[in-house]
Amino acid sequence: MSTVLTHPAIPLAIGLGLGRNVVPGRLLAAGVLASVLPDLDTIGYRLGVPYDSLFGHRGFSHSILFALLLAMAGALAYRKLNTTAFRAFLFLLLAAASHPFIDAFTNGGLGVLAFWPFSGNRYFAPFQVIEVAPIGIFQLVSKRGAVVLLSELKWVWQPCFYLMVTLMCVSRYFSGLFGGAASEA
């Protein structure tokens, strides 16, 4: 699992890169929440739910179906998110689906149950380059925690920074083409 600090990187990069006209603040906040929500399954540890269970860590809450359901709920609440239903759905789908995507690149634990209910197989990405994080935010204040955070900085935050800058440039370019505010800069 990646840390709760890193899962929001993808929705933050997309939201900040595209700007408030495309991803309003409320939608961005909902995206950040959607990106960390799948890890609520860690509560199962305290309730005795086995790790490899459907309800265990990286179980159904790490599936594409879960991301779709979360995105549909967001689309229904689009007015509260100050956007269109389609934009809410798409952004929240990307945000929620980014969670198992990132977790699949970690080098520990079980894979993600990405294709549940169609498959009970757990998957990892072809390259597990992100150091698996210990469960518990206080575990990050250690030598092991520093290794995890540096790994996430290299493999998640740095590419997300480049994605954000690229989206900013592309948005600015297209805004300039169509006479938007960016053309006046």
Interatomic CA distance for residues 145 and 124, integer angstroms: 22
Residue 140 or 54, more confident: 54
Q: What is the mean pLDDT of residues 93-112?
A: 96
Residue 38 CB neighbours (<10 A): 27
Q: CA angle 40-45-46, nearest 5°? A: 100
pLDDT digits (tens, 9 = 90+) for 155-176: 999 999 999 999 999 998 887 6
pLDDT at 19: 96
3-state secondary structure 24-68: CHHHHHHHHHHHHHHHHHHHHHHHCCCCCCCCCCCCHHHCHHHHH
Q: Count Cβ atoms within 10 A of the Cβ of residue 120 and give its class: 0-12 exposed, 13-18 middle, 19 or more buried.
A: exposed
* Cβ atoms of 104 and 125 closer than 8 Å: yes
- pTM to 2 decimals? 0.89
Residue 33 or 42, more confident: 33
CA 106 to chain centre: 14
Minimum mean pLDDT among 49-53, 103-107, 117-121, 135-139: which range? 135-139
Across the chain, what does the average pLDDT equal?
A: 91
Q: What percent of the chain has pLDDT over 70?
A: 92
